[in-house]
């Protein structure tokens, strides 16, 4: 079979004025003629930024990728895209996930690239890059930045999930504010993203289980030299992927998505995984619905004993053999024949894995926890669904009836949660509205709202909490998230009032509020929207077009792809 002409030839293979323009300005970087002679041009899509601390080591990582590309006879070109730092961006990095995906999509399509390496790390940088790349669909490989080393404070291991505990400890006076300062430095002591099975780690596991990275990508710590080796090997491999024309759409089949969902359940991955995977499926044209997550996760026990559902850290997962050992433990549950970035099937990849610590990675027959990683709830409170992570919740609250204590928005919550006259006890259900995609806007990670101080002081550590927002992948508790339709859409959730009786039945997968249809209709008549949705620029575009959480919160006009062809020239 004749080799397919490289896409970049439509730029660099040209004669006359157009070829001159496409090559001449590149030569100001000191590039010799032969680089333009039929070499695969590989873009390195870099989310390096000092404002995204989790990705701050990516300039170095990119050098390793380049080495691999050069070694394989490719022509590497690094380019920046919008970087989304989870911790600094207000009102939430999630508001900008779709914007960054547009940047990635258009940057890949508009430029003379034959293949692309996506450098992803902090939470939103992975889904935004994969979403954007899917809408173009050229050969693509993901290199994750890797997790931080496990934090260590006065001999105690710690990671991001401990923030939520320390925050409560300061509020109740168990530790002093000053001690938090030393904890800060002890927690983030190396390059990399959050060291627990939070969203960034879940995303790294997602790309590996989808087959978008080389095996082992998810768990190698950022500070470990083997991370650079993986980056170099990925650079080497992408050149070959271009020759094979192995595109995202060849790898991202429905079966690959099913594998990723099962793996996320087995590792106790983030609830944010649901939203991002739905958005990615939408871009590549694979049918995937919220209910699929429940059906596919249902019988998968937790086998990776990692925080926040378990005990250990990503560094421990790496020493235990990494994600391939988890995949191998799921043999018989996963689709074995899914093709991956290295050209091998997922089963061929994991068959070589060796486990080194059966406490960190257990087996399906003897899991460390039988609770499901994810459950999807429906009922009159969430007509289009809601998400809970039972593995990080309290077993005694899985069946619960309680009276709602409603906060209309985040300001209302912050103003009243610790007041003495708030009528609340541990059987109450905390309800937070207007933190959804449109309502906030951007769907922030505030769903694991802190408990009222007076409840914490009784020694109570968990209560049922419901919102239309998200929760950090590092968070835990009996927290129901992603209620759809969100309050800002004026659905049933917007109508709940303090004192309404809410029934949660996780086993029955239901979430209901005891309001008669007549009463509901009456409340809808009287309803005045809380958040006036205004804005200009991107925020206006976003609020006008963002879809609800059960559809992945992508913008309606971004679903699908436009391929890689651009017919017209620039001059």
Tell me which of 194, 248, 515, 546 binds ligand FES, using CB under 6 A: 194
* Contacts of Mg ion in 115-134 (CB under 5 A): 123
Given the DSSP bridges, would you call strands 151-153 and 156-158 parallel, antiparallel or unpaired? antiparallel
Tell me which of 9, 18, 19, 87 binds ligand FES, using CB under 6 A: 87
54 binds ligand FES (CB under 6 A): yes
Q: Please, which residue, 74 or 151, has the CB nearer to ligand FES?
A: 151
Q: Least distance to Mg ion from the beta carbon of 204, Å? A: 13
Cα 449 to Cα 427: distance, rounded to the nearest angstrom = 16
Residue 176 gets which letter from DSSP? Answer: -
> Which entry of Mg ion, ligand FES, none binds 122, CB below 5 to 8 A by partner kind?
ligand FES
Choose the binding region for ligand FES from 191-199, 236-244, 304-312, 436-444 (rule: CB under 6 A): 191-199
Q: Least distance to ligand FES from the beta carbon of 153, Å? A: 18
Residue 2 gets which letter from DSSP? Answer: P
Choose the binding region for ligand FES from 164-172, 190-198, 500-508, 554-562 (rule: CB under 6 A): 190-198
Among candidates 461, 471, 397, 395, which has minimal Cα distance to 432? 471
Ramachandran sector of residue 503 (left: φ over 0; alpha: ψ -120 to 50; beta: rest):
beta
Among candidates 161, 162, 160, 208, which has minimal Cα distance to 188? 160
Q: Least distance to ligand FES from the beta carbon of 54, Å? A: 3
Residues 6+ apart with CB under 8 A from 237: 68, 72, 141, 214, 341, 342
472 binds Mg ion (CB under 5 A): yes
Q: How many residues bind ligand FES (CB under 6 A)?
A: 10
Among candidates 388, 393, 389, 363, which has minimal Cα distance to 377? 388
Give me the torsion for CA of 187, 195, 294, 447, rounded to 10°: 20
> Which entry of Mg ion, ligand FES, none binds 87, CB below 5 to 8 A by partner kind?
ligand FES
160 binds Mg ion (CB under 5 A): no
DSSP string covering 284-311, please? HT----HHHHHHHHTTPPB-B-BTTTSS
Tell me which of 133, 200, 266, 417 binds ligand FES, using CB under 6 A: 200
> Which entry of ligand FES, Mg ion, none binds 243, CB below 5 to 8 A by partner kind?
none
Cα 30 to Cα 341: distance, rounded to the nearest angstrom = 32
Instruction: Check if the beta carbon of residue 454 is closer than 8 Å to that of residue 491.
Output: no
Q: Please, which residue, 166 or 368, has the CB nearer to Mg ion?
A: 166
Q: Least distance to ligand FES from the beta carbon of 200, Å? A: 3
Cα 34 to Cα 24: distance, rounded to the nearest angstrom = 13
* Contacts of Mg ion in 178-207 (CB under 5 A): 199
> Which entry of Mg ion, ligand FES, none binds 54, CB below 5 to 8 A by partner kind?
ligand FES
Instruction: Give the position of tokens 């989790």.
Output: 54
Q: Is the Cα torsion angle 510, 515, 516, 522 positive or negative in sign?
A: negative
Tell me which of 68, 78, 86, 227 binds ligand FES, using CB under 6 A: 86
* Contacts of ligand FES in 100-139 (CB under 6 A): 122-123
Choose the binding region for ligand FES from 194-202, 326-334, 438-446, 500-508 (rule: CB under 6 A): 194-202
Q: Least distance to Mg ion from the beta carbon of 472, Å? A: 4
Query: Where on the chain is the footprint of ligand FES (CB under 6 A)?
Result: 54, 86-87, 122-123, 160, 193-194, 198, 200
Query: Where on the chain is the footprint of Mg ion (CB under 5 A)?
Result: 86, 123, 199, 472
């Amino acid at each position: 079979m004749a080799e397919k002409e490289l896409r970049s030839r439509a730029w660099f293979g040209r004669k006359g004025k157009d070829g001159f323009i496409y090559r001449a300005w590149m030569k100001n970087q000191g590039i010799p003629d032969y680089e333009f002679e039929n070499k695969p041009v590989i873009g390195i899509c870099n989310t390096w930024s000092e404002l995204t601390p989790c990705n701050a080591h990516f300039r170095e990582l990119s050098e390793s990728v380049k080495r691999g590309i050069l070694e394989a006879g490719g022509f590497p070109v690094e380019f920046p895209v919008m970087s989304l730092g989870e911790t600094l961006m207000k009102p939430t990095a999630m508001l900008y996930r779709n914007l960054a995906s547009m940047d990635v999509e258009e940057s890949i399509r508009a430029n003379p690239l034959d293949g692309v390496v996506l450098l992803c790390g902090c939470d939103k940088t992975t889904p935004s890059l994969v979403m954007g790349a899917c809408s173009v669909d050229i050969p693509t490989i993901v290199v994750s930045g890797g997790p931080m080393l496990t934090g260590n404070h006065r001999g105690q291991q710690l990671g991001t999930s401990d923030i939520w505990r320390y925050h409560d400890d300061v509020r109740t006076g168990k530790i002093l504010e000053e001690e938090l300062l030393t904890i800060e430095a002890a927690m983030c002591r190396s390059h990399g993203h959050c060291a627990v099975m939070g969203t960034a780690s879940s995303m790294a596991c997602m790309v590996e289980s989808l087959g978008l990275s080389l095996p082992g990508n998810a768990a190698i710590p950022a500070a470990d030299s083997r991370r650079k080796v993986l980056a170099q090997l990925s650079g080497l491999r992408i050149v070959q992927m271009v020759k094979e024309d192995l595109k995202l759409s060849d790898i991202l089949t429905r079966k690959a998505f099913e594998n990723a969902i099962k793996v996320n359940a087995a590792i106790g991955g983030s609830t944010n995984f649901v939203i991002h995977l739905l958005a990615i499926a939408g871009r590549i044209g694979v049918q995937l619905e919220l209910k699929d997550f429940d059906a596919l996760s249902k019988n998968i026990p937790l086998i990776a004993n990692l925080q926040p559902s378990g005990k250990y850290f990503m560094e421990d997962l790496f020493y235990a053999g990494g994600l391939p050992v988890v995949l191998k433990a799921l043999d018989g549950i996963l689709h074995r024949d899914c093709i991956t970035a290295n050209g091998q099937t997922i089963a061929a990849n994991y068959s070589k894995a060796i486990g080194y610590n059966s406490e960190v990675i257990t087996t399906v027959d003897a899991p460390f926890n039988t609770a499901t990683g994810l459950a999807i709830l429906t009922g009159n409170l969430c007509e289009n669904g809601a998400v809970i992570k039972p593995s990080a919740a309290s077993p005694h609250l899985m069946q619960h009836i309680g009276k709602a204590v409603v906060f209309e928005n985040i300001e209302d919550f912050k103003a009243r949660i610790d007041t003495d006259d708030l009528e609340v006890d541990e059987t109450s259900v905390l309800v937070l509205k207007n933190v959804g995609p449109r309502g906030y806007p951007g769907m922030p990670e505030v769903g694991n709202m802190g408990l009222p101080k007076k409840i914490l002081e009784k020694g109570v550590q968990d209560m049922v909490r419901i919102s239309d927002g998200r929760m950090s992948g590092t968070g835990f508790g009996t927290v129901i998230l992603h209620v759809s339709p969100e309050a800002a859409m004026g659905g049933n959730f917007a109508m709940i009032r303090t004192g309404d009786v809410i029934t949660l039945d996780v086993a029955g997968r239901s979430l209901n509020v005891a309001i008669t249809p007549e009463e509901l209709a009456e409340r809808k008549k009287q309803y005045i929207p809380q958040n006036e949705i205004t804005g200009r620029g991107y925020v206006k575009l976003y609020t006008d077009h963002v879809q609800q959480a059960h559809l992945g919160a992508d913008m309606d006009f971004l679903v699908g792809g436009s391929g890689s062809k651009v017919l017209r020239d620039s001059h």
